[in-house]
Structure 1
Amino acid sequence: MKIGIVSIIKEPWGGSEELWADMAAEALKEGHEVFVSALKCGPPHPKTVNLLKNGAKLFYRRGFVQPGIPFLQRIFRKGLIILANKLQNPFHRLFKERPDVIFYVGTSYSIGEDVLLLKALDKTPAALYINCNLNHDVRGFGGTRYDLIKAAYQRARKVLFVSEGNLEIARRHLCSNIDNAMVIRNPVNLANIGILPFPEEETVNFAMVGILVTDHKGQDLVLGALHQEQWRARKWHLNIYGAGLDEGYLKQLTAFYGLNDRVTFHGKVNDIKEVWKKNSLLLMPSRQEGMPLAVVEAMVCGRPSVLTDVGGHREWVTEGQQGFISPGATVRSMADAMERAWEQRADWKQMGIAANTAAMERYNPVPGKTILKLLLTA
């Protein structure tokens, strides 16, 4: 079988890539052909390189304009892309391979914006599978093409969500049961992690792990909470792991709140065990979410979390058992949840053990094989 994968991510790698990469690795082992269409936004990630070594083919497509360049240059480059796309569909190299299946990896609604992909699909019998990694619990985002989204969902063999919460939001937004939907868990490398010894330092270390994009991960909400008076006399340190477009803003906000001596930016990290050897509590103040791997990894390592009630967070964490839930993605709501957590910090170690148990019960040990089995029925 020929399997085409379309990723819309605007960086070399992210949590959304783990599922398709796991499936692609399984497909290559079984002798199937794998073709990946991705945006050119930096050197390929080591996991991509490994797939290429094992026989996958990577086709970069136009569409990404590096952020931070001067405004006029940005407009000029976008204009060139629009012109080039009119002359030739950016997905032409992928469809030239005549894939039997297209596995689309994006948000719940991004397929409605990928009009050129939909046009290419109209000219092929390839079976479509849509992997929805997140959505936002609001209705009526400007310009969202719900008619195209519903049509794409109806065309798809399966629409795969990473949490029940995302699926329920999509049903409400689209006024549809989405009868071909199913929930699939993202992969977690459990072979190398498990419950780690709980930190015993007097100064409590908090961790925020994820891409530094505040519209998605909401790191600014935690900084706003820690700026409040009650936190000034407490012994704590916040460690921020990750990189992204809002790194500069978050560093400015940290300085503005006078927290430079209590917040450390570590950049991207590859060894999750090193994160959880040091830190006692995960803070995940997301404004929109699917089901972040960072939460599951923290749970597997035996750490409780403070999470906003978005995506699949509540499916994995119960208030007061494996962590704490902030009902809203606001500074006040997140601050209240963090306050509840601080008052119960003597219970964190036991809650971390409960988190590990819950994670081990919920995760899919072979998500790549699960997806591949689905595709082979196309």
Structure 2
Amino acid sequence: MLTETISSISNPSQSQQLGGFVFISSCFDVWGGSEELFGATAKCLKQQGHEVYVFKLQISTHPRILELQAAGVKVIALNSLRFLKVKHLAFISIYYLVRLLSFLPIPTRCYFIHKQSLMLQTLKQIEPSLVVISQKDSDNIDPQRSFLLHTLRRIEPSLVVISQGDNFDGVKYAEICLELNLPYTIISQKASDTFLPYGNLRRMMQDMYRKAKFSFFVSQHNLSLTESQIGYSLTNAEVIRNPHRALIPEALPYPLIENDCFKIACVARLWILDKGQDILLKVLAQDKWQNRNLQISFFGEGIDRDALMDISTLLGIKNVRFHGFVNNILDIWHHHHALIMPSRAEGLPIALVEAMMCGRLGIVTDVGGISEVVEDNLTGFVSKGAFFTAVDEAMERAWQRRYEWEYIGKQSSIYIRKIIPPYPEKIFADKLIKLSNSQRWK
């Protein structure tokens, strides 16, 4: 049993000084960019002698998970999904359906009823033993919730950190913390202008943030938008930065421009709903872009890879390539002159920060916190929105100044270093320790 591995700190003197931390991730994927902050922070806390636990919907031999385990962090799969293994594809489909529905004006009460119904029906079909309906509460049984309640009681952490991929998907974890009277803090990695919490969800979100010991957002835009969405001023909130993998002292050398061909990289998960690669493909299908000496390389994996390749083929686009996931981000920027991100929703994309650190300008959309780090026409080119004409206009401005990209990229590398510290996870770990200590000595 996973819970049998959980033990309290055995050294009495240490237990008076060091608290235990629990991180709960709402990310459905084995690992996502939204998990880099808590992952790096968990290792920092463990190195300082704290007991650290990470709860995820699913775990595997992903390098980041192996790193956590090697550092001594206990990584635990949430009970309701422990036995899925190869059958988890059905749950992925449900998850993305729910994410799609979140963009539509559907009453939240109906949305959650529909979501719960889908989950329970699928659980029964895939693995009947996972759904044990009690006679006392047959309508509201949730194996994941039961597992978390039982396990958190045993751990008794000094602080729970709920890591959200969006700004609303940790609600049920906050409710569990409140039921157990556990102090918790929240990380929100994204807030979308296209999402509006209705009815019960808005009240649940307001309650979650109001009762949190502190809330962290990766951009000021996300913080302000969340306040607007829930109609509540978050006095116990601030912006925290994500760690990145471009830890270099200065910009990389600019790549050679061979045969006057400019190479642009689109670095993002292949997920149309948020990342908007479909918009870029439609722009590129125009004759003017097909006749220019330009190459676009897509880097990343995701459920929309086949869809994007099919769109590319349908539109007859000849100057795009799909390269998959690249572990060393510097490899990309040794060979590409600029970044393009046609995103529909963002927090503050790590890929953009890394590109700027490497001295590569961004052609980006004005969503999330992007305009907080990119100055239009100075350190990059900002589209007014994630739609065809706006992205095309920003690309056109960039193209007309393509022989200035090296200079603009260098300016962006100087600018981003003023905003993003080299090791945000250390700053975050210190903040969590202070929050933990303030709770323990009350």
TM-score under structure 1 length normalisation: 0.92
**Which has the larger helix fraction?**
2
| Amino acid in structure 2 at the alignment position of 1:27 | L
Select the residue among 73, 76, 92 that pairs with 1:59: 76
Superposition pairs of residues 74-223 of structure 1, within 5 angstroms: 76-79=121-124, 83=132, 85-86=141-142, 89-91=146-148, 92-106=150-164, 107-112=166-171, 114=172, 117-138=173-194, 140-141=196-197, 145-192=201-248, 194-199=250-255, 200-201=257-258, 202-223=260-281
CA distance in 2, matches of 1:32, 1:276: 37
Instruction: Report the CA distance shift for 1:175/1:222 in structure 2 as closer, same or farther (over 3 A).
Output: same
Instruction: Report the CA distance shift for 1:185/1:144 in structure 2 as closer, same or farther (over 3 A).
Output: farther
8 Å contact from structure 1 (residues 59, 94) kept in 2: no
CA distance in 2, matches of 1:74, 1:6: 20
CA distance in 2, matches of 1:27, 1:327: 40
Extract unaligned runs of 5+ from structure 2: 1-18, 95-117, 134-140, 437-442
Secondary structure at the counterpart of residue 376 of structure 1: helix
CA distance in 2, matches of 1:372, 1:271: 25
Instruction: Report the CA distance shift for 1:239/1:169 in structure 2 as closer, same or farther (over 3 A).
Output: same
Q: Name 2:402's counterpart in structure 1.
A: 345
Root-mean-square deviation (CA), in Å? 2.2
CA distance in 2, matches of 1:101, 1:298: 34
Query: What are the superposed Cα offsets for residues 328-378 of structure 1, whole Å, 9 maximum, x if unpaired?
Result: 110111011101110111111000000100111111223222222222222
Q: Name 2:319's counterpart in structure 1.
A: 262
- Percent of paired sites with the same residue: 30
Structure 1 residue 285 corresponds to structure 2 residue 302: no
**Displacement of 1:70 after TM fit?**
9.6
Superposition pairs of residues 327-346 of structure 1, within 5 angstroms: 327-346=384-403
8 Å contact from structure 2 (residues 186, 215) kept in 1: yes
Query: More displaced, 339-348 or 368-377?
Result: 368-377
Secondary structure at the counterpart of residue 196 of structure 2: coil
Secondary structure at the counterpart of residue 159 of structure 1: strand
Structure 1 residue 364 corresponds to structure 2 residue 421: yes
CA distance in 2, matches of 1:207, 1:161: 27
Instruction: Report the CA distance shift for 1:211/1:226 in structure 2 as closer, same or farther (over 3 A).
Output: same
Structure 1 residue 12 corresponds to structure 2 residue 30: yes
Instruction: Report the CA distance shift for 1:230/1:268 in structure 2 as closer, same or farther (over 3 A).
Output: same
Structure 1 residue 306 corresponds to structure 2 residue 363: yes
| Amino acid in structure 2 at the alignment position of 1:157 | K
Q: Which has the higher contact order (CA 8 A, sep 6+)?
A: 1
Q: Name 1:36's counterpart in structure 2.
A: 54
8 Å contact from structure 1 (residues 304, 323) kept in 2: yes
Query: More displaced, 87-96 or 73-82?
Result: 73-82
Extract unaligned runs of 5+ from structure 1: none
Secondary structure at the counterpart of residue 110 of structure 1: coil
CA distance in 1, matches of 2:332, 2:93: 36
Query: More displaced, 226-235 or 29-38?
Result: 226-235
CA distance in 1, matches of 2:119, 2:217: 34
Select the residue among 309, 316, 329 that pairs with 1:251: 309
Query: More displaced, 275-284 or 48-57?
Result: 48-57
CA distance in 1, matches of 2:158, 2:20: 5
CA distance in 2, matches of 1:204, 1:368: 35
**Displacement of 1:21 after TM fit?**
1.4
